[in-house]
Structure 1
Amino acid sequence: MGRHARPVLASLGPMALDRAGAEPLHRQLYRALRQMVVDGRLRPGERLPPTRALSAEWGLSRNTVVTAYDTLLAEGYVTGRIGAGTFVATALPDRPPEGMARRVDARRGVGLSRRGMVLADAPAVPRDPLVRPFSLGTPDLGAFPFALWGQLLGRSWRVGGRGLAADPDPLGHPPLREAIAGYLRAVRAVRCEPEQVVIVSGAQQGLALVAQLLLDPGDSAWVETPGWPGNRAALLGAGARLVPVPVDAEGLDVAEGVRRGADARLALVTPSHQFPLGVTMSLGRRLQLLDWAAQQDAWIVEDDYDSEFRYAGPPLAALQGLDGAGRVVYVGSFGKVMFPALRLGYVVVPPDLVEPVRAARRHFDGGTSVVPQAALHRFLTDGHFASHLRAMRALYAGKRAAILDALGRGFAGLGRAEAGEAGMHVLLRLPDSVPDRVLSARAAAIGLTVPPLSSYGVDGAGGNGVVLGFAAHGVEALERAVGELARLTEAHPP
């Protein structure tokens, strides 16, 4: 079998054949197989079971199966290859015969709960599986030590053995929770004990879990605008009523948040590195926010987005470390530092929330897979994480400087590049004469991923610009892509 050949289907699954009916069995079998092809259950190029195997499985005569296959062949639903077998055709007939049940796309919302419909319509988190120039949130995968990671996975299995195969703690692998608590205390000035650390399948799951526990449908919640769509989606999924609060050079405008919704139940903020503006919340704003939460008996969810990659200024303490009232829930992830498919993050909850979170994890999903957690524990405690993080900071600092230099040269008079003190992206502000959504669409047509700033604002109020990720590509590729984007802007004025 060639390396791209499809395997023979072992079984076609259940089929409704009426052996006592008036219609011949070969016609019933033919219609059932035809419907499977039209429905997509049998995919183009898939190899059907041999006639002898299918007749034996269903207790049919071989002539019955052969006749059904021949009819499908005559109508163009399958093709036959001598010595190879029978395959679903890659190009199907344009119009199925009369009377055949057709696939009907269900309307979104039919049968969904109100919450389900809200989630279906929630703002989508941009994904770029091709990782094209300026893709957001993707680290430089070529710089990650995957061979070492594979060794740690194998070592974890050899040492952990049966212990890793047992039913896990819903809050996560205890050794990993202890290592994360120590790391956060030392590096981010987070005040926590291992018991407060909850391992989740990425920061997005952590945000959704917290929102489900802390919000009732109809509760108000502050969100940054512009801001990350996934944060809004997590709150909408819990039935929250969003209160968009603008962000300026000092971060979330707390006074404006109070004016728009003083009685909010929760505020979701990114104080260390705001997305997409890249600003850091000032100490004064942080203290204002904590005072508001204490007075209103409200919660603050701190999404510590991209805080690891800081290029200027002194290290910043987390907002959680300033909290003396136990009102801050801290959320982080390893995906940006290591690789996105790892899907491991953490939530640090106040002591009073530990047992409610444990119960929720037990009911929701039972906890996160423990095998990668054991490897991550070793990656942390053996010093590999700190070493990799140092290397990536230096690598990204060079890429950041290169893209800012290229933007300064290529967009002189066309835009203004802005970069915060941390993160994996820069912001290119555009004049009103260059609508960001128009430029984004034109860039996509030439293979560039250039998200418009306006798409990150609630009701489109995000400003005019484009957000450019720089981590996933080399300096030469970034400089070339900036040149292409600049030429596109000059050659096609909106």
Structure 2
Amino acid sequence: MLYEQLRSSILSGQLAGGSKLLPSRVLAAQCGLSRNTVLAAFDQLAAEGYITGRQGSGTYVARVLPEELLQSAPFSQSSASPALHPGAATLSARGERLARARRMPIPSVLGHQPRGAAFLIGLPALDAFPFKTWTRLYSTRFATSASALMPYDSPAGYRPLREAIASYIATARGIHCTADQVIVMNGSQQALEFCARILLDPGDAAWLEDPGYLGARAALVSAGAHIVPVPVDESGLDVAAGIELESTARIAIVTPSHQFPLGHTMSLERRLALIDWAARNESWVIEDDYDAEFRYVGKPLAALTAIDTHQRVVYVGTFSKVLFPSLRLGYIIAPEAIVDGFIAAHLSTDMHAHLIDQAVVTDFMEQGHFANHLRRMRVLYRERQQLLIQEAERIGGRIALAPSDGGLHLVGQLADIGDDTAIAKSALQQGVHVWPLSIHHYHPSRSSALLLGYAGTPKRDMRAGFNVLAKVLQDRPTTTRAKPGTRTI
């Protein structure tokens, strides 16, 4: 192709900058080509900046080629900005706090490639996900309505999905709301950060469960909140302790249905006390209902939002645990008084989540696949929890697990064998992902317990993971042994 030959000669320097090219008629005759072919090559080279024509003089190779224009111009060190010394501040004070904050120890998020699925926290059973159904729904959407989902949409989210969520949440969690109160977010973490930023001013006090979810802590740090760690016991957040510590806190972030990380359920007495405190102080409660779909004993508990007669609870739900984490879809159900403010604020951030994903989730729910998938996963996860406990018993008494009424992980109490963080690090080096409970305490803790996820751990990985964990635990001295079946923490 003549264009490629000429361009190559120019780039290699065979045709130097400023040199004159043969006239198109002469070049066509020499190459045995039509003149139109030569003119087309000249036009393309001229359009890309490789040659230039001079009226009445001819065609010349450009003195400055396009590739040179794309390179950064050299600069002298004297004209450059002075280099920052290692101790120079580059972030705001809040940014520095956020950068130093503890992160959820998810290997892929922290830059590590997981070598196995054993005991990863918050991971659903991807090996049991209905990929064929999901792929078919995606294909149908792209074939029938992709163009309609490409423009901007409401910052509250795709209307049919909001209607599907409102219908589902009424049955599953006892929350009666309208689709207008539902705001679709990019996952529950964005929802938590969004709530903290909208409902808090810098310096406002906020209650945080202790131990608690590190993502909630990061959201409060991002909002510049004054964090008040409130202790948790078997009845959930200790509301009386929170009032004694900071009665005028602006918000409280809680996981009442299945406290993270301990797994306790907040008692009705505590729930009513929390709502009463929020109403009296005109404060807000953020209910993170991250895995309430997975309850294996009795009916699912009603959400805190469902018993809130004062409209002081903001509900946060997610599809990460029921479908898959990388979907990045969650939602907020806001009291009517603050819905418009939330939607306006969402407009100033990322506008809305990916519409194709929202539409496919809508189809998945409306066609009954969502309910069927949940039923199958409840059965599977109950079986995997039982298997987790059996495997723990198989390796001896150095880690004690007790069954839980719900959730996707268990807390294993360790015998007196030292630092749970060091144990988790040793296990990770061998491809087993257990989390130390101590990192979830706000203040330094001497907890000796591990969090083990079972939902996303197939049987083969669970047995292999416990074999590794047994070796890690055996390498550490012990003076007492945990009793299998004892209540954790």
TM-score, normalized by the shorter chain, greater than 0.5? yes
Give 2:275's aligned amino acid.
L
- Which residue of the partner structure matches residue 324 of structure 2? 339
Secondary structure in 1 matching 2:175? coil
Alignment of 1:185-204 (within 5 A): 185-204=170-189
- Which residue of the partner structure matches residue 349 of structure 2? 364
**Counterpart contact for 1:108–1:120, Cα < 8 Å:** no
User: Displacement of 1:162 after TM fit?
Assistant: 3.5
Distance 1:106 1:59, change over 3 A: farther
Secondary structure in 2 matching 1:460? coil
2:266 pairs with one of 254, 259, 281: 281
Q: Which moved more, 1:308-317 or 1:239-248?
A: 308-317
- 1:349 to 2:328 alignment: no
Q: Which moved more, 1:459-468 or 1:387-396?
A: 459-468
- Which residue of the partner structure matches residue 431 of structure 2? 447
Whole-angstrom CA distance in 2 between matches of 1:401 and 1:434: 27
- Which residue of the partner structure matches residue 373 of structure 1? 358
Whole-angstrom CA distance in 1 between matches of 2:196 and 2:188: 12
Secondary structure in 2 matching 1:256? helix
**Counterpart contact for 1:301–1:331, Cα < 8 Å:** yes
User: Displacement of 1:458 after TM fit?
Assistant: 0.4
User: Displacement of 1:421 after TM fit?
Assistant: 1.4
Secondary structure in 2 matching 1:313? coil
Alignment of 1:71-470 (within 5 A): 110-129=89-108, 130-131=113-114, 132=116, 133-412=118-397, 414-461=398-445, 463-470=447-454
Q: Deviations over 1:257-316 (max 9, x none)?
A: 111111111000000111111111111111111111111111000000211111123320
User: Displacement of 1:117 after TM fit?
Assistant: 2.1
Identity score, percent: 41
Whole-angstrom CA distance in 1 between matches of 2:273 and 2:416: 34
**Counterpart contact for 2:417–2:476, Cα < 8 Å:** no
Whole-angstrom CA distance in 1 between matches of 2:147 and 2:135: 19
Q: Deviations over 1:118-158 (max 9, x none)?
A: 22222212222244311111112121112221221222233
Distance 1:431 1:161, change over 3 A: closer
**Counterpart contact for 1:455–1:462, Cα < 8 Å:** no
**Counterpart contact for 1:419–1:427, Cα < 8 Å:** no
Alignment of 1:13-28 (within 5 A): none
- Which residue of the partner structure matches residue 474 of structure 1? 458
User: Displacement of 1:419 after TM fit?
Assistant: 4.0
Q: Which moved more, 1:398-407 or 1:142-151?
A: 142-151
Whole-angstrom CA distance in 1 between matches of 2:416 and 2:205: 33
Q: Which runs of 5+ in 1 are unaligned?
A: 1-18, 20-53, 66-97
Q: Deviations over 1:90-110 (max 9, x none)?
A: xxxxxxxx99x9xx8986973
Give 2:477's aligned amino acid.
P
Whole-angstrom CA distance in 1 between matches of 2:88 and 2:156: 33
Whole-angstrom CA distance in 2 between matches of 1:466 and 1:195: 41
Distance 1:417 1:217, change over 3 A: same
Give 1:493's aligned amino acid.
P
**Counterpart contact for 1:185–1:191, Cα < 8 Å:** yes
Give 1:176's aligned amino acid.
L
Whole-angstrom CA distance in 2 between matches of 1:488 and 1:373: 44
Q: Deviations over 1:318-370 (max 9, x none)?
A: 00000001100000100111111100000000001111011101111111111
Whole-angstrom CA distance in 2 between matches of 1:390 and 1:268: 29
Distance 1:460 1:109, change over 3 A: farther
Q: Deviations over 1:2-48 (max 9, x none)?
A: xxxxxxxxxxxxxxxxx9xxxxxxxxxxxxxxxxxxxxxxxxxxxxx
Q: Which moved more, 1:309-318 or 1:105-114?
A: 105-114
Distance 1:146 1:60, change over 3 A: farther
- Which residue of the partner structure matches residue 8 of structure 2? none
User: Displacement of 1:183 after TM fit?
Assistant: 0.1
Q: How many matched pairs?
A: 407
Whole-angstrom CA distance in 1 between matches of 2:178 and 2:359: 19
- 1:483 to 2:467 alignment: yes
Whole-angstrom CA distance in 2 between matches of 1:203 and 1:108: 35
Q: Which runs of 4+ in 1 moved over 4 A?
A: 54-62, 104-109
**Counterpart contact for 1:108–1:117, Cα < 8 Å:** no
**Counterpart contact for 2:427–2:434, Cα < 8 Å:** yes
Whole-angstrom CA distance in 1 between matches of 2:384 and 2:302: 25
Give 1:173's aligned amino acid.
Y
Secondary structure in 2 matching 1:258? helix
**Counterpart contact for 1:418–1:429, Cα < 8 Å:** no
Q: Which moved more, 1:322-331 or 1:152-161?
A: 152-161
Distance 1:61 1:175, change over 3 A: closer
- Which residue of the partner structure matches residue 42 of structure 2? none
Which is greater in Rg?
2
**Counterpart contact for 1:177–1:197, Cα < 8 Å:** yes
User: Displacement of 1:231 after TM fit?
Assistant: 0.6
How well do the aligned residues superpose, as a CA RMSD in angstroms? 2.7
Secondary structure in 1 matching 2:323? coil
